[in-house]
Amino acid sequence: MSVGRTLATASKAHGHKGAGRLWKSVSLVIALPGVAVCMLNVYLKKPQEPAEFVPYTHLRIRSKPFPWSDGDHSLFHNSHTNPLPNGYEK
């Protein structure tokens, strides 16, 4: 007995005819446009400049330097969004 045949028999036994087609339609008509609208919203509302730097010491505690580069940059450092302990890079 194949898997497809087993699933078809199980859905008939529980009275779920066309449930797969319904969820496929819901996914294509509602979910994908919803994700697209959310992506557009995030893109349009993203800040153009980084936030003002406030030197909170508890956010940048370095008990030992990072083992790469100069020891102050994290592994996935982005100079536009991640400040160093003394401020943003220019």
- Angstrom CA distances, 51 to 10, 20, 25, 79, stand at 56, 47, 42, 13
How far is it, in rounded angstroms, from Cα 60 to Cα 50? Answer: 17
Q: What is the pLDDT of residue 41?
A: 95
How far is it, in rounded angstroms, from Cα 30 to Cα 35? Answer: 9
- Give the homologous superfamily in CATH for domain 49-90: Cytochrome c oxidase, subunit VIa (4.10.95.10)
pLDDT digits 0-9 by tens, 26-82: 889 999 999 999 999 999 988 777 778 898 888 888 889 889 888 888 899 988 888
How far is it, in rounded angstroms, from Cα 18 to Cα 12? Answer: 10
pLDDT digits 0-9 by tens, 1-22: 555 565 555 555 566 778 888 8
3-class SS of residue 84: strand
Q: What is the pLDDT of residue 50?
A: 76
